[in-house]
């Protein structure tokens, strides 16, 4: 997979891509190629250096103009005017760094990233390039991991100060990818609460295009994902270069098109509002960036991401384990919850065949609304007189699992924890804090704070009857300063916070490996591979309206497999947008997600009890199908969505079709299924018809007809009216 020539051309190649760079005589790293696999990287030699006759020359070397040179880890101030990978102020007070090759090593597998989450190794090799700027004793290690069976290149870097004076760094990016000039589009996912993951595809402009977060959560505003694609690339064809980060805090993914139209993708911690004081003998590890190349368009890209996330990012413990169906108390009761209601809902859950009761917000000391109590993780004795362990045991005695909501990173000003430790919240001197949902963020840069929260969570989990934890986080950070750090290190707080959080999660996962954790941040405000590397599933959105969720799931599926998404049947009219929809469509919108449940009150459950029984039994009986399989977007436009899912054993195919607004006289539509066995016979479960794979892929599956007129015999119809849906199931015969 990794070949290195005598003249130091490094080629990383597997069946999906080649990535090639080399060391110039001057010791700089020149990027040479990233794209479809090529067997003879040495043949690229004739393209190694092109002299434009420019007037800027790197440190007196004729014909070497860095502004025109594709690079691996560029710095600023020596003839490259684009944004660099590494930048800051050195001991001399200037910002000129020159990183030169020193040596390299190749290791089997992957190095540890010092507390940061990263993709698992296995059938992988890592090339480590050691660079140094001897003038300031700065050393950089670049990690490149290539896998035998995945089209993913994992990159990160470590900066060490082996000099005698501190260095103040402002940019320490995880990776740079310099792509050749072309007409590119860029695809990214933006949104806000209850409207996450809107895909926007736009022409890549000259200059800089950036998505980022300065909120100290990866955030719903821009998910950490960006794809640079050939202008003509479609869902199924064309070159796509996509990037993400295994990180949950302030990130930046930017693309700069320089004057010569070459394109630089930078991935890493957001340099805005960041600085790191690197004292002698200290090291800084960057989060891991993941890059995908595919010539097979967006579908090809998603395939690679999904398989990789399923097998290398999601926690191994839950990899092929079906998720329990659940009833969540939030939209059933909000804060108006008590022990009796939980037990009634548990009975309802049992009756409709749900497997787990999840007690959401509102169960702890004094919590009657969102103005108090975060930080005091003991049961409110007025409403939960038996306490959580006893309640959990009673729910379990009914044959259900028990899940609990917590929001451990937060503290309410109105809480015992805050009264005892006002300095434990993030804050800056002499300024009134800006509250978010009436709460403050705990200072997870401090060990004693993290330890306190660990102890409180442990006191809950120790009873052994809590099967699931919904880990929420409901604000973006402001005044992100720490009373425990000196003035010169305050801009380090957001990243130090992430290290504290990841450390806490690691301890908990190790101590309670069988507890299923779900990440949530007001829905999808921190839905990223950092959190998803600890927790197998995420509360992707608070949007309970199925039509709203279609766009959310569709957008998120560019990067994330549906294995990591939690779906639920919420109330109708939806509490988020007031839309009325059928239970069937509410189920179908999440039918291909791994985790399914309901968030309905007793009355709503009683009203639709028969249908809920049918659907929740279906969800429970098929939950194993939606782990580790292959999801495909077949059709996604303004009027219709059609998704396909092939189970891991490739024997069952689900096709979920949604027709959003009804209209008269529409075309007869078909969906061309994908990646079936062309010679295999598949039986459509609803009527026993046999179709072969080639028919379903080439001719397509006839979609139910949308009509406002009189139904005709022999035609399959959608339910009448808006927001109709249909779930096909096909089973392979032999
Ligand atoms: C935000 C979450 O997204 C909701 O599902 C719910 O858990 C509330 N927080 C509770 O406060």
| pLDDT tens readout for residues 362-390 | 999 999 999 999 999 999 999 999 999 99
Q: What value does the mean pLDDT take over residues 257-282?
A: 96
The pLDDT of residue 49 is 61
The pLDDT of residue 46 is 63
Work out the pLDDT band at 64, boundaries 50, 70, 90. confident
pLDDT tens figures, 224-256: 999 999 999 999 999 999 999 999 999 999 999
Q: Which atom of ligand 1 is nearest to the CA of 599?
A: 5
The pLDDT of residue 55 is 75
Q: Could you count the other beta carbons within 10 Å of the beta carbon of residue 208? A: 14
Sign for the CA dihedral angle at 19, 23, 28, 32 comes to: negative
The pLDDT of residue 651 is 98
Question: Is residue 541 within 6 Å of ligand 1 at its C-beta?
Answer: no
The pLDDT of residue 708 is 73
Q: Could you count the other beta carbons within 10 Å of the beta carbon of residue 463? A: 15
Does 47 have pLDDT greater than 70? no
The residue whose CB lies within 8 Å of the most ligand 1 atoms, and thus the one to mutate among 542, 552, 575, 576, is 542
28 vs 57: CA distance, rounded Å: 13
Catalytic residue among 178, 185, 465, 472: 472
**Low-confidence winner among 35-44, 110-119, 214-223, 391-400 (lowest mean pLDDT):** 35-44
pLDDT tens figures, 677-717: 999 999 999 999 999 999 999 999 999 998 777 888 888 88
The verdict on whether 472 is a catalytic residue reads: yes
Q: Could you count the other beta carbons within 10 Å of the beta carbon of residue 405? A: 21
CA of 540 to the centre of ligand 1 (A): 11
569 contact partners, CB below 8 Å, separation of at least 6: 583, 586, 587, 590, 597, 598, 599, 600, 612, 615
Catalytic residue among 178, 262, 542, 604: 542
The verdict on whether 451 is a catalytic residue reads: no
Does 491 have pLDDT greater than 70? yes
The pLDDT of residue 716 is 87
Q: Mean pLDDT score of the chain, rounded to an integer?
A: 96
Q: Are 337 and 383 in contact (CB under 8 A)?
A: yes
622 contact partners, CB below 8 Å, separation of at least 6: none
486 contact partners, CB below 8 Å, separation of at least 6: none
Query: ω before 573 within 30° of 0 (cis)?
Result: yes
CA of 478 to the centre of ligand 1 (A): 20
Does 290 have pLDDT greater than 80? yes
Q: What value does the mean pLDDT take over residues 403-416?
A: 98
Closest CA to 49 of 26, 74, 32, 67: 32
Using H for helix, E for strand and C for coil, what is the string for 247-269?
A: CCCCEEEEEEECCCCCEEEEEEE
The residue whose CB lies within 8 Å of the most ligand 1 atoms, and thus the one to mutate among 217, 220, 474, 567, is 474
Q: What value does the mean pLDDT take over residues 354-360?
A: 98
640 contact partners, CB below 8 Å, separation of at least 6: 657, 658, 659, 660, 669
Work out the pLDDT band at 638, boundaries 50, 70, 90. confident
Nearest protein Cα to ligand 1, atom 9: 522
Q: Is 274 helix (H, G, I), strand (E, B) or coil?
A: coil
The pLDDT of residue 734 is 77
**Low-confidence winner among 43-52, 85-94, 335-344, 635-644 (lowest mean pLDDT):** 43-52
Locate all alpha helices (DSSP H) within 480-638, ordered by sequence.
493-511, 529-532, 546-556, 583-589, 602-607, 609-622
Question: Is residue 405 within 6 Å of ligand 1 at its C-beta?
Answer: yes
- Of residues 61 and 327, more confidence is placed in 327
pTM of this structure? 0.97
Q: Could you count the other beta carbons within 10 Å of the beta carbon of residue 264? A: 23
The pLDDT of residue 33 is 95
The pLDDT of residue 413 is 98
The pLDDT of residue 62 is 83
Question: Is residue 330 within 6 Å of ligand 1 at its C-beta?
Answer: yes
Phi and psi, residue 119, nearest 5°: -65, 150
Work out the pLDDT band at 498, boundaries 50, 70, 90. very high
Closest CA to 402 of 320, 333, 328: 328
Q: Is 615 helix (H, G, I), strand (E, B) or coil?
A: helix
Q: What value does the mean pLDDT take over residues 314-318?
A: 97
Sort residue 128 into left (φ over 0), alpha (ψ -120 to 50) or beta.
beta
CA of 586 to the centre of ligand 1 (A): 19
Q: Are 413 and 440 in contact (CB under 8 A)?
A: yes
The pLDDT of residue 50 is 62
CA of 616 to the centre of ligand 1 (A): 22
Cβ density class 341-353: b for 16+ within 10 Å, e for less: bbbebbebbbebb
Element at 461 (helix H, strand E): helix 447-461
pLDDT tens figures, 420-477: 999 999 999 999 999 999 999 999 999 999 999 999 999 999 999 999 999 999 999 9
Burial of 665 (0-12, 13-18, 19+ CB in 10 A): exposed
Cα angle for residues 36, 42, 43 (degrees, 5° grid): 75
Does 48 have pLDDT greater than 70? no
Q: Which atom of ligand 1 is nearest to the CA of 405?
A: 7
């Amino acid at each position: 997979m990794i070949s290195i020539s005598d003249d130091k051309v490094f080629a990383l190649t597997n069946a999906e891509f080649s990535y090639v760079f080399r060391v110039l005589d001057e010791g700089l790293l020149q990027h040479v190629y990233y794209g479809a696999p090529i067997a003879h990287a040495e043949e690229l030699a004739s393209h190694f250096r092109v002299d434009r006759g420019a007037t800027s020359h790197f440190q007196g070397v004729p014909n070497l103009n860095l502004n025109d040179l594709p690079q691996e880890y560029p710095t600023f101030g020596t003839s490259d005017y684009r944004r660099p990978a590494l930048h800051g102020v050195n001991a001399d007070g200037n910002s000129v760094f020159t990183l030169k090759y020193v040596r390299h090593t190749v290791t089997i597998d992957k190095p540890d990233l010092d507390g940061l989450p990263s993709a698992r190794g296995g059938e992988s090799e890592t090339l480590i390039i050691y660079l140094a700027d001897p003038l300031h004793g700065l050393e950089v290690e670049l990690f490149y991991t290539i896998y035998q069976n995945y089209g993913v290149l994992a990159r990160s870097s470590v900066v060490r100060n082996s000099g005698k004076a501190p260095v103040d760094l402002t940019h320490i990016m995880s990776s740079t990818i310099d792509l050749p000039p072309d007409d590119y589009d860029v695809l990214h996912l933006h949104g806000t609460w209850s409207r996450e993951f809107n895909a926007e595809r736009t022409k890549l402009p000259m200059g800089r295009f950036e998505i980022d977060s300065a909120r100290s959560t990866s955030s719903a505003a821009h998910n950490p994902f960006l794809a640079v694609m050939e202008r003509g690339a479609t869902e199924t064809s064309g070159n796509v270069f996509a990037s993400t980060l295994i990180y949950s805090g302030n990130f930046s993914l930017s693309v700069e098109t320089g004057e010569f139209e070459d394109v630089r993708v930078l991935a890493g911690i957001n340099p805005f509002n960041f600085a790191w004081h690197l004292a002698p003998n200290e090291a800084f590890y960057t989060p891991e960036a993941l890059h995908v190349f595919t010539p097979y368009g967006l579908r090809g890209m998603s395939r690679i991401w999904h398989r990789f996330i399923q097998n290398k990012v999601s926690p191994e413990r839950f990899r092929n384990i079906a998720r329990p169906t659940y009833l969540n108390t939030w939209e059933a009761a909000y804060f108006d919850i008590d022990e009796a209601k939980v037990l009634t809902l548990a009975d309802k859950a049992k009756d409709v065949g749900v497997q787990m009761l999840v007690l959401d917000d509102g169960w702890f000391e004094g919590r009657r609304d969102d103005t108090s109590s975060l930080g005091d993780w003991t049961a409110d004795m007025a409403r939960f007189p038996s306490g959580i362990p006893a309640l959990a045991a009673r729910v379990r005695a009914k044959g259900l699992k028990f899940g609990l909501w917590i929001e451990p990173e937060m503290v309410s000003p109105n809480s015992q924890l805050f009264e005892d430790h006002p300095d434990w919240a993030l804050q800056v001197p002499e300024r009134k804090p800006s509250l978010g949902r009436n709460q403050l963020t705990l200072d997870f840069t401090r060990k004693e704070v993290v330890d306190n929260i660990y102890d409180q969570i442990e006191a809950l989990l120790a009873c052994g009857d809590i099967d699931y934890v919904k880990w929420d986080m409901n604000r973006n950070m402001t005044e992100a300063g720490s009373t425990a750090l000196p003035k010169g290190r305050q801009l380090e707080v957001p990243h130090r916070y992430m290290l504290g959080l990841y450390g806490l999660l690691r301890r908990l996962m190790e101590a309670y490996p069988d507890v299923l954790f779900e990440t949530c941040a007001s829905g999808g405000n921190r839905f990223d591979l950092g959190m998803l590397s600890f927790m197998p599933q995420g509360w992707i959105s608070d949007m309970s309206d199925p039509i709203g969720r279609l766009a959310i799931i569709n957008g998120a599926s560019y990067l994330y497999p549906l294995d990591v998404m939690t779906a639920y049947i919420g109330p109708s009219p939806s509490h988020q947008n007031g839309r009325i929809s059928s239970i069937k469509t509410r189920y179908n919108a999440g039918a291909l997600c791994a985790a399914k449940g309901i968030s309905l009150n007793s009355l709503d459950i009683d009203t639709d009890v028969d249908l809920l029984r049918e659907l929740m039994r279906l969800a429970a009986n098929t939950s194993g199908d939606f782990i580790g399989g292959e999801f495909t977007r077949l059709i996604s436009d303004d009027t219709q969505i059609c998704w396909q899912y092939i189970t891991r054993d490739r024997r069952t195919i689900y096709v979920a079709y949604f027709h959003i607004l009804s209209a008269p006289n529409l075309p007869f539509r078909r969906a061309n299924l994908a990646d079936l066995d062309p010679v295999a016979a598949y039986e459509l479960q609803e009527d026993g018809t046999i179709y072969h794979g080639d028919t379903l892929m080439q001719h397509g599956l006839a979609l139910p007809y949308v009509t406002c007129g009189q139904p005709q015999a022999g035609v399959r119809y959608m339910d009448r009216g808006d927001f109709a849906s249909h779930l096909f199931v096909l089973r392979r015969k032999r």
